[in-house]
Amino acid sequence: MKKIGFIGLGIMGKPMAKNLLKTGYDLTVFDINNDAVEELVTLGAAKGISSKDVASKTDIILTMLPNSPHVKEVILGKDGVIEGVKQGSVLVDMSSIAPLASQEVSEALLKAGVKMLDAPVSGGEPKAIDGTLAFMVGGPEAAFNEVKDILSVMGASVTHVGEIGSGNTTKLANQIIVALNIAAMSEAMVLATKAGVDPEKVFDAIKGGLAGSTVLNAKMPLVLDGNFKPGFRIELHIKDLMNALDTAHELGVPIPLTSNVMETMQALKVDGHAKDDHGGIIQFYENLAKTKVRKFRK
């Protein structure tokens, strides 16, 4: 069994690494948060002292980091992966970053004889915990086939979508659709509630029809309970939409609806809701209409 390195044990990375350990993979981990590292060590992981150290001890390196600058620093910076990685290794970056950044990092790794895949995920913390994430993977197909079984431990769907960078392009498309779904849900449910209709019954009535969606099923029950504990924070969705807007502008693709939702999220950030779950977008519409969408009291 190949040795795996895992760098980035945050809200998503830690449960993903735990699922690999449960399956019996040989795992070496590193994060700047030593408490997270020690938690994984107690479960059977080996402790890495740096990204360079992890890369030198493993054959497949997985990274799960916040954004493009962090990925570049961890992989290409001082004591980074590139300083310790062995020729022939595969690096799988599961972070959600700009497609051009993935291509830039991949070019540097290729010079060191290392194949890279960009493999962002969708599903948030709940699906990271239960191992049912959706992976969107870009890069060499041979490298994809080499790591598919590993990714399948952490995800229910693992799809190769094209060359390097196409994984993150797919993730940007995903994040646009999710954000607009939540915004549409929010407008509709605030309207129904303000009109005096029980939003829980509205949800039950429409979820099986054309307006039904995975987003609606995941977010509406939390909204009805007023639960905005983060599964995926608004500030992280802002990051993804910023990457989407930058990429769209570079390609000459107008995305006006995305721009609108971005400003909604920015307003919530200013109002102190940056760390709320992105289902908390509804709070923007609730504030405008002076109406809260919650379960009606019986």
| Domains, the chain, with CATH or none | 4-163 (3.40.50.720), 169-289 (1.10.1040.10)
- Reported as a single tens digit per residue, the pLDDT across 69-107 is 999 999 999 999 999 999 999 999 999 999 999 999 999
Q: Which two tokens stand for residue 205?
A: 């009535």
**298 band by pLDDT with thresholds 50, 70 and 90:** low
272/267 Cα distance (integer angstroms):
9
The mean pLDDT of the chain is: 97
pTM: 0.92
118/124 Cα distance (integer angstroms):
17
pLDDT of residue 1: 75
Distance of CA 150 to the CA centre of its chain: 18
Give the mean pLDDT of 36-53: 98
Phi first, then psi, for residue 295 (nearest 5°) are -60, 135
- Reported as a single tens digit per residue, the pLDDT across 124-160 is 888 999 999 999 999 999 999 999 999 999 999 999 9
Q: Which residues contact residue 76 at a Cβ distance below 8 angstroms, ignoring those fewer than 6 apart?
A: 82, 105, 108
Catalytic residues: 171
Query: Is 190:197 a contact under the CB 8 Å cutoff?
Result: no
DSSP string, 102-113: HHHHHHHHHHTT
Query: Is 164:118 a contact under the CB 8 Å cutoff?
Result: yes
Q: In 52-98, which ranges are E strands?
A: 60-63, 90-93
Of the given ranges (49-53, 157-161, 223-227, 231-235), which has the lowest mean pLDDT? 231-235
